[in-house]
Structure 1
């Protein structure tokens, strides 16, 4: 299998989409696949307003089609609905090339939080985008049910994993947390309005609130909670030590489709407090490794009583190896069901870009 993965999400972004694709890349050769990644690095791009770490590629379908002979993919997966995803989708449709997609982000809710755009409009557009795919991968049962209820079809399950060697219980001091009143309630993620971090910071909790991450909302959040400890972006061993040194992980998001940080926290022995919504319901609900409650303060306080070993044991159920097995099996199944590609039309050449890059693990976070 020569797999082309088209994604608008890539470094310097640090998020669940990028992490997932990195792990799929790492596993590809072991599962008989040679993956190539088409990212914003292959094209001229401009920073997204308010999110400079996100680059919008100046790409057309002709720009992608010009690379097709060199890429020669037997299979195509479109990971995002941005400019690269749109251009690749158009090329696939023109060539009669089957492709799969994945649904990572609740764009309708994200957009509605910033602009007066009804979510129903955005969902209609997304339904059309993913409707052309042979299969659309979703991370959880509750998300699958929700999208099916909105008219999405050909849904396939693709779970996520966690590196349990990196993210593990530790008994190591963390200088950034030294002397802070306990218990330590931790949030890890992008500091943006859609993450609902203000709901966490506004809780009346004992001890100290610790925030790891950065984003366009940071200045407002720091002003909202001057007593909280903001540590900025942390990765790798540094991040894992912070998880393990805290007492509870608070996940206030109402819009995440999964939340890999939930698994990272659990793997470090950290109980989770969250709202009972998609993501937490699937990862934590009914496991005894966290508390889900519409009253986030009550959930945070109750989570402190959960044994850390119970959290660790729950995280061990999730592996990147199983995630990769599902991912590549979905692609093979969807491609086989769709039939053989049938060329329809050709695009002209375009001067954009410098080519694609191998899908290999190149992680500047470590």
Structure 2
């Protein structure tokens, strides 16, 4: 691939989903080898890497250009549009963040659904719903875009099946021993109540929550429950969900969480695929009854609602828990990024 200094422009459309940014790259990418989105993700990660431990690959210069300062920031998130696996999907996407590439992104899926309809890529009624099928590295997901009066009012995404991998896994932390639950929902998550660490899910405790999340993720690096039976790309803890119980909402449980993912990055939203993981765990222990919704709040106070739904006809008994997560996404800007070949900062820096 030519170095990024030879790229004239990179164009993006930016959204936020419940406060978490999502930068959709619409133009300026080189071709990515691979016959499927999963293969293209493996190419992007590079030899020897994984979805959360990247090595330099053919898209990494572009990723760094968009996520690093002065064009981005350490909390930036985005996606490269790529061809879908087949005609059954409208588009494919490679998700990225400050540390590399990821296999799932619920808030990004919600933003992509809104963008696909808002931009006219996928036809939609002024009043009613439109489905946007998206191939992501972990499989095919569907974003149902809700419309009223010609305006997108919300998006519900149906994730790949979620599976509980392990319960009460012991982890030794600087704050003492704790037990975590592990679930796969397009990416692997470890979850535990923040109170077990003596913390509250508040912005005042964010430094301690991030430190704990990084410590727990590192401690689980070799745990067998974090490995996915289908692919090494889907294996390894992507995020640590620290949550607290709130008084029940009218239609089900209510929780607040902060998801610490990759190398200490904070999800400003309630985390879409992380919400799927929480739904699988809550359904497994009976906290979430059929027909109930989880009101899932972020540390920033934004909200997703999630639920389990009946599996498709003919699904195997061990196929996993089918989940849906609803949220809102709003466009924040359109950008044309340029890298001057004489710029000594090159693709930028992170502080």
- Do Structure 1 and Structure 2 share a fold, with TM-score over 0.5? no
* Larger proportion of helix: 1
For Structure 1 versus Structure 2, the TM-score category normalised by the shorter chain is 0.3 to 0.5
Q: Which has the larger radius of gyration?
A: 1
Select the structure with the greater relative contact order (CA < 8 A; seq sep ≥ 6): 1
TM-score by length of 2: 0.32
Give the structure with the higher percent strand: 2
